[in-house]
Amino acid sequence: MSDDSAVAIAHPNIALIKYWGKREESLHLPVTTSLSLTLSEFPTTTAVSVDPGLPADRVTVGGEPAPAAFQERVVTFLALVRDLADAREHACVDTVNTVPTGAGLASSAAGFAALATAASAAYGLDLDRRALSRLARRGSGSAARSVFGGFAVWWCGEGDGEAGDRSSFAEQIRAPLVDPAMVVAIVDGREKAHPSRDAMRRTVATSPFYDAWARSSARDLDSMRSALDAGDLAAVGEIAEANALGMHATMLGARPAVRYFAPGTIRVLDLVHEMRAGGLGAWFTMDAGPNVKILCDRRDSAAVAQAVACAAERVVVTTPGPGARLRETVAPDAAARP
Ligand code: 2P0
């Protein structure tokens, strides 16, 4: 690998305590602290190669020209990395995603964690994990958490501007007493109707329930951390489910409403309730899309997957996965092979 090229891999994370709303848009400073689980599946692999001969950044997805909106987000992010590195050269970026994009399956979390990792290495920045998490946050808020494997907490931090930027980062939480799985039930893998960034902004600006949700989310965070410390997966699941439903209720209160539930979503939620009524420990969470993720003990994951298979296009069992990392050896077509 030459000094000015790098390939990185990152996995999506699913929030158990959600991030939904910014207090400062330009720096992606969140209103609330969130907590997530990074998944073992759906890696994004991103190659960045700095090239002094390029007149502009070149962005491809699996070798094909990137859609304009994605290209713009990547170019904006590269400009930030260049500022930090005091560099001027442009770069080629190629990214390969293995999760449906824009379907509430955290593709931007994995995407910007991988891009931050690869771009900072390619431009010669030597960032520790905290600084890398802060950088990833600037691409997409939730990407701050995918820098870390397993459970991670992303602190909202304090203040705005530089103070906020310095204090809002993610870090790993150890939870050795739980052995979870997250069963992903894809009921509709198509791109969502409401991009999360706009939906989030509209919710904060117009939902009369927003402040109450933010306050209750802070209490959920404390209870969730105690439940993780105690190894009480049932409490973790109950808090996660309530926190997600609270976020969606807040969105439904936006004007116009933001609604991510689809008929297939409701069918899966009903099946989760039936499982619990039958004695199987399973708790759902949902993000900015109709797909459902079901938290359970790892030993129950096959039973949970089987129970929801009838209501989903595809079911994937995941377990806690690794944080973003550089790939050490690079073949010419490396980005195409996650
Ligand atoms: C989360 N979501 O905590 C929440 C729950 C979706 C629902 O983070 O504007 O793509 O790039 O910071 O990170 C999706 O939002 O938004 C998200 P930006 P992002 O996972």
Cα of 151 from ligand 1 centre, angstroms? 16
Atom of ligand 1 nearest to the CA of 104: 6
Choose the residue to mutate in 35, 285, 287 for probing ligand 1, maximizing ligand atoms within 8 Å of C-beta: 287
Cα of 19 from ligand 1 centre, angstroms? 6
Check: CB of residue 275 under 8 Å from CB of residue 304. yes
Atom of ligand 1 nearest to the CA of 139: 11
159 burial type by CB count under 10 A (0-12 exposed, 13-18 middle, 19+ buried): middle
Atom of ligand 1 nearest to the CA of 17: 3
The model carries a pTM of 0.95
> Which parts of the chain sit beneath pLDDT 50?
1, 330-338
What is the reported pLDDT for 334?
A: 41
C-alpha separations of 165 from 114, 131, 136, 286, 328 in Å: 20, 10, 12, 28, 30
Check: CB of residue 156 under 8 Å from CB of residue 31. yes
Type and span of the H or E element at 22? strand 22-24
Q: What share of the chain is helix, strand, coil (3-state, %, to 5)?
A: 40, 25, 35
Q: How far apart are CA 183 and CA 287, in angstroms?
A: 14
Type and span of the H or E element at 286? strand 282-286
Cα of 107 from ligand 1 centre, angstroms? 10
Atom of ligand 1 nearest to the CA of 18: 3
Check: CB of residue 120 under 8 Å from CB of residue 83. no
Q: Whose CA is nearest to atom 14 of ligand 1?
A: 196
Cα of 179 from ligand 1 centre, angstroms? 25
170-173 sheet: strands from edge to edge:
13-17, 34-38, 151-154, 170-173
Measured from CB, residues less than 6 Å from any atom of ligand 1 are 15, 18-20, 28, 34, 108, 140-142, 196-197, 200, 287-288
| Residue bearing tokens 């899309």 | 289
Cα of 173 from ligand 1 centre, angstroms? 20
Cα of 125 from ligand 1 centre, angstroms? 26
Cα of 115 from ligand 1 centre, angstroms? 16
Check: CB of residue 338 under 8 Å from CB of residue 43. yes
